[in-house]
């Protein structure tokens, strides 16, 4: 499979971002969307652009601002004076990978323009419904430290994202490597070429259907999701859709490892990215520093692992 080639080539321009690349690939294979959270300057945009280029997929970027309108994303019909007809001016949403930069800077009205596309893989422009080309993946970024001039994503929209990818600072050694190789990395980024094409990516997506899931794995996922609902610090636990997301990401993890079946380790790797943004913590625990990731980690430790 092409996963190893993508990871190997990505390392030429990305430092310590292998986990993020894997999660983006899992998102694409599972036909989902990802929310990438991190402070400015941690290579969120570069990571997305690198994956799109290596997969041979079309890529467009939208910089969200408060004055951006839905039509700026999905497009509109404009009058052509030469022909006397209205023709469709397609927006940047007509692509394979759409990077929505700083999604929480856009107004709720503009954010909602993405909902139909993310859920139904289609857009409606002036009453006309248009299917989007597969694969269609929204990779949205947001800055976790800014609270002014932003519109936090409501829970319903957060739930549209298959995974949440957290990108933090590099380690000391990783940071030093980046400084030493900064000029080389910039050159290599421009030279990157696709190692696979769109048809092969679509074939890999289709092969997800052949991944076997044992009944014990289904029970394991159910136990994890139910434990989030019963946790003392949790106000709102994992929904059925969250369980489906966990299953999809687990299957994608198995496929990327070259297996045709899911094992408990796949579920463990997928649990925090697939569930953390879908869990609400009670305010009294939130002020004490309790996070969804910590709760899910505790649940994984306590939940019995299925035996083969």
Give the Cα separation of 30 and 137 in Å (integer). 10
Same domain (yes/no): 107, 29: yes
Lowest mean pLDDT among 93-102, 147-156, 277-286: 147-156
Look at residue 44 and tell me if it is in a domain: yes
Mean pLDDT for the stretch of residues 199-207: 94
User: At 190, is the pLDDT very low, low, confident or very high (cuts 50, 70, 90)?
Assistant: confident
State the pLDDT at residue 149. Answer: 65
Quick check: 138 pLDDT over 80? yes
With pLDDT > 90 as the criterion, what percentage of the chain qualifies?
69
Three-point CA angle 167, 113, 57, nearest 5°: 55
State the pLDDT at residue 156. Answer: 75
More confident residue, 289 or 222: 222
Lowest mean pLDDT among 179-193, 248-262, 287-301: 179-193
Look at residue 206 and tell me if it is in a domain: no
More confident residue, 131 or 144: 131
Show which of 175, 199, 223 is a domain's final residue: 199
Same domain (yes/no): 238, 154: no
Tens of pLDDT, residues 31-64: 999 999 998 889 999 999 999 999 999 999 999 9
State the pLDDT at residue 229. Answer: 94
Tens of pLDDT, residues 146-169: 666 678 787 777 888 999 999 999
Same domain (yes/no): 110, 39: yes
| Highest-confidence segment of 37-46, 58-67, 124-133, 220-229 | 220-229
* Domain coverage including residue 223: 211-302
Q: What is the CATH number of the domain that holds 127?
A: 3.40.50.300
Look at residue 26 and tell me if it is in a domain: yes
State the pLDDT at residue 2. Answer: 87
Same domain (yes/no): 147, 275: no
Mean pLDDT for the stretch of residues 206-221: 95
Q: What is the 3-state secondary structure (H, E, C) of the chain?
A: CCHHHHHHHHCCCCCCCHHHHHHHHHHHHCCCCEEEECCCCCCHHHHHHHHHHHHCCCEEEEECCCCCCHHHHHEEEEEECCCCEEEEEECCCCCCEEEEECHHHCCHHHHHHHHHHHHHCEEEECCEEEECCCCCEEEEEECCCCCCCCCCCCHHHHCCCCEEEECCCCCHHHHHHHHHCHHHHHHHHHHCCCCCCHHHHHHHHHHHHHCECCHHHHHHHHHHHHHHHHCCCEEECCCHHHHHHHHHHHHHHHHHCCCCECCHHHHHHHHHHHHHHHCEECHHHHCCCCCHHHHHHHHHHHCCCCCC
Q: What is the CATH number of the domain that holds 266?
A: 1.10.8.80
State the pLDDT at residue 308. Answer: 67
Look at residue 56 and tell me if it is in a domain: yes
More confident residue, 111 or 164: 164
Look at residue 290 and tell me if it is in a domain: yes
Same domain (yes/no): 150, 57: yes
Same domain (yes/no): 10, 122: yes
State the pLDDT at residue 139. Answer: 95
Show which of 145, 172, 199 is a domain's final residue: 199
Overall domain count for the chain = 2
Same domain (yes/no): 87, 182: yes
Mean pLDDT for the stretch of residues 16-42: 94
Quick check: 78 pLDDT over 90? no
Same domain (yes/no): 183, 215: no
Q: What is the four-CA torsion angle of 145, 149, 152, 157, rounded to 10 degrees?
A: -120
Quick check: 216 pLDDT over 70? yes
Show which of 139, 170, 199 is a domain's final residue: 199
Look at residue 287 and tell me if it is in a domain: yes
Same domain (yes/no): 221, 84: no
Same domain (yes/no): 185, 218: no
Look at residue 204 and tell me if it is in a domain: no
More confident residue, 114 or 211: 211
Mean pLDDT for the stretch of residues 95-110: 90
Same domain (yes/no): 172, 267: no
Mean pLDDT, the chain, integer: 91
Look at residue 248 and tell me if it is in a domain: yes
Same domain (yes/no): 21, 134: yes
Task: Kindly report whether the peptide bond that precedes residue 210 is cis, defined as omega within 30 degrees of 0.
Answer: no
User: At 277, is the pLDDT very low, low, confident or very high (cuts 50, 70, 90)?
Assistant: very high
With pLDDT > 70 as the criterion, what percentage of the chain qualifies?
98
Give the Cα separation of 14 and 92 in Å (integer). 25
């Amino acid at each position: 499979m092409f996963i190893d080639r993508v990871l190997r080539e990505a390392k030429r321009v990305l430092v310590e971002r292998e986990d993020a690349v894997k999660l983006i690939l899992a998102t694409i294979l599972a036909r989902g969307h990802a929310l990438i959270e991190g402070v400015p300057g941690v290579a969120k945009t570069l990571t997305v652009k690198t994956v799109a280029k290596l997969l041979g997929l079309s890529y467009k970027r939208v910089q969200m601002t408060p004055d951006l309108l839905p039509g700026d994303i999905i497009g509109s019909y404009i009058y052509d004076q030469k022909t006397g007809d209205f023709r469709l001016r397609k927006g940047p949403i007509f692509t394979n990978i759409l990077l929505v930069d700083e999604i929480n800077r856009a107004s709720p009205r503009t954010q909602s323009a993405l909902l139909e596309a993310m859920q139904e893989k289609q857009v409606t422009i002036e009453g006309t419904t248009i299917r989007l080309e597969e694969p269609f993946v929204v990779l949205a970024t947001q800055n976790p430290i800014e609270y002014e001039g932003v519109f936090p994503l409501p829970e319903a929209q957060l739930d549209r994202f298959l995974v949440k990818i957290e990108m933090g600072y590099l380690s000391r050694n990783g940071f030093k490597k980046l400084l030493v190789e900064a000029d080389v990395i910039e050159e290599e980024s421009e030279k990157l070429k696709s190692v696979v094409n769109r048809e092969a990516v679509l074939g890999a997506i289709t092969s997800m259907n052949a991944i076997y899931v044992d009944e014990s794995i289904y029970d394991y996922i159910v136990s994890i999701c139910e434990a989030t609902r019963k946790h003392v610090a949790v106000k709102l636990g994992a929904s059925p859709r969250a369980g489906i997301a966990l299953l999809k990401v687990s299957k994608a993890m198995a496929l990327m490892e070259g297996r045709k079946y899911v094992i408990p380790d796949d579920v463990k790797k997928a649990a925090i990215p697939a569930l953390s943004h879908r869990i609400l913590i009670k305010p009294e625990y939130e002020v004490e520093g309790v996070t969804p990731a910590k709760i899910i980690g505790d649940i994984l430790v306590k939940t019995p692992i299925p035996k083969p």
